[in-house]
């Protein structure tokens, strides 16, 4: 089991910045990619940024150039630096961890395990 706890959300004015954190605990050894997703009122959850274990990051087009995702694997923590925020960025932001199956004392590279989710943190951007 992996537990994910997000922090850093709140109310910010348009044009401002917020930094979100996601700390993973539990059976973290087999975490592969981690990602940030968001869900705005009345909308489906969408990918914001996904970071592989090697640090390669993919972003949604709507946040490219404004948001930066990063991971500190030693601390089992992922971050999302959000700059130039817009009212349309208002959403609950969720942390996601993808895992691979355990193999002896390690983990399979490609055999997918469970996905885990945090409870989310609300970011509200006022105009």
The Cα 69–Cα 1 span in angstroms is 24
So what's the pLDDT on residue 83? 98
- Mean pLDDT, residues 26-48: 95
- Mean pLDDT, residues 55-74: 96
Nearest to 71 by CA among 58, 54, 92, 47: 54
So what's the pLDDT on residue 125? 98
So what's the pLDDT on residue 95? 98
So what's the pLDDT on residue 102? 87
- Mean pLDDT, residues 112-121: 95
Answer yes or no: is pLDDT of 11 > 90.
yes
So what's the pLDDT on residue 111? 86
């Amino acid at each position: 089991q992996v537990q994910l706890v997000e922090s850093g959300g709140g109310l910010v004015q348009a044009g401002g910045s917020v930094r979100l954190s996601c700390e993973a605990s539990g059976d973290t050894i087999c975490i592969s990619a981690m990602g940030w997703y968001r869900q705005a009122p009345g909308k489906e959850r969408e990918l914001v940024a996904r970071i592989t274990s090697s640090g390669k990051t993919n972003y949604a087009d709507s946040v490219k150039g404004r948001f930066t995702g990063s991971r500190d694997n030693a601390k089992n923590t992922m971050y999302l630096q959000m700059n130039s925020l817009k009212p349309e960025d208002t959403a609950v932001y969720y942390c996601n961890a993808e895992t691979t199956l355990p193999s002896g004392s390690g983990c399979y590279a490609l055999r997918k395990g469970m996905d885990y989710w945090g409870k989310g943190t609300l970011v509200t951007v006022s105009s």
